[in-house]
Structure 1
């Protein structure tokens, strides 16, 4: 579900991740709501996945809405690297 170099955004709470998905889709960002990978922890079990070229846009939209993620990870092989 998460491809090499994809970025995974973790949020505290289901309502925040769902709102983030909504505002990002309205902004035309190429994101996907996914179950949080088991290697990562999450309060709500859901996360957002996007490709590195979308990172600047995603973070700008989320920041403007007061919905910045708690953590960002990039998939590298079998690991997730904290950004």
Structure 2
């Protein structure tokens, strides 16, 4: 479900992740609401997956909307690396 190099954004609540998905899709970004990978601790159990090439646009929109995720991870080498 998560490809090599994809970003996974984890949020504090189901409300925030669903609102983030709606906002991002409203801007035409190719994001996908997914079950949070087991390796990540997600309070709401859902996350947003997006390609690294869309990372700047996704994060800029989330920041402007006050919807920054709790954590962002990049899937690399079969692991999820926490982004700074």
What interval of TM-score do these two structures reach, taking the shorter chain for normalisation? over 0.9
CA deviations on 1:30-81 (whole Å, 9 max, x unpaired) are 1000000000000100000000010000001111110001100000121100
Gap regions ≥5 residues in structure 1: none
Aligned to 1:13: 13
Aligned residues: 83
Alignment match, 1:69: 69
Task: Please give the root-mean-square deviation of Cα atoms over the aligned residues, in Å.
Answer: 0.5
Q: TM-score, normalised by structure 2?
A: 0.97
TM-score, structure 1 as length reference: 0.98
